[in-house]
Structure formats: structure tokens, C-alpha cells
């Protein structure tokens, strides 16, 4: 399984952008799945800015109430 949050992987670094994710899969579909899993997420919550992974994951943690590691694991499984 590919780890999309592994900083040591050249083609999937922690600074992976939504554009890069779209190249690997359908980011809009994954966002939809995230909104289904965590009903209170908005498109703004799921907007990722390059270089701001910690802020993005912190925002998702605050909104979902789940640990960052759990959120990362979900995205890794979903992608």
C-alpha cells in the first residue's frame, strides 16, 4: 500500500498537493468519501495548500475529533 504521507517517498511527499493527488487518482472522489465518513467536513476543510500539511491535518483533526495518525491512515487506505 502506498503511503501518501511518507516524507521519505520521493513521489508522494508530505507536501503532496491536490493537483498531484489528482494525477494519482480522483481527488474529488476522495473528498466526497471523506465528507461521507466525516459529515461535518466542507470543501474548505479539504482544501490542501502546499507546504501546510500540518495545518491541514490539524484542521481535519479538530473537525473530525480523530487523531492525525487515524486521518492519515484513512487517506492512505482510500487512495
Residue spans of the domains in the chain: they are 27-78
pLDDT tens-digit readout, 3-58? 566 543 344 444 455 555 555 567 788 889 999 999 999 999 998 887 888 999 99
CB 1 within 8 A of CB 77: yes
Give pLDDT, residue 19: 53
Q: What angle do CA 50, 10, 57 make, to 5 degrees?
A: 35
User: pTM value?
Assistant: 0.69
Q: What is the DSSP string of 20-58?
A: HHHHHS-HHHHHHHHHHHSTT--TTTT---TT-HHHHHH
Report pLDDT for 50: 79
Amino acid at each position: 500500500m502506498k503511503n501518501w504521507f511518507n516524507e521519505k517517498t520521493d513521489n508522494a511527499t508530505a507536501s503532496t498537493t491536490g493537483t498531484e493527488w489528482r494525477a494519482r487518482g480522483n481527488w474529488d472522489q476522495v473528498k466526497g468519501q471523506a465528507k461521507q465518513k466525516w459529515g461535518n467536513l466542507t470543501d474548505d476543510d479539504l482544501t490542501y495548500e502546499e507546504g501546510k500539511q500540518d495545518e491541514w491535518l490539524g484542521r481535519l483533526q479538530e473537525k473530525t475529533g480523530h487523531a492525525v495518525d487515524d486521518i492519515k491512515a484513512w487517506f492512505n487506505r482510500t487512495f
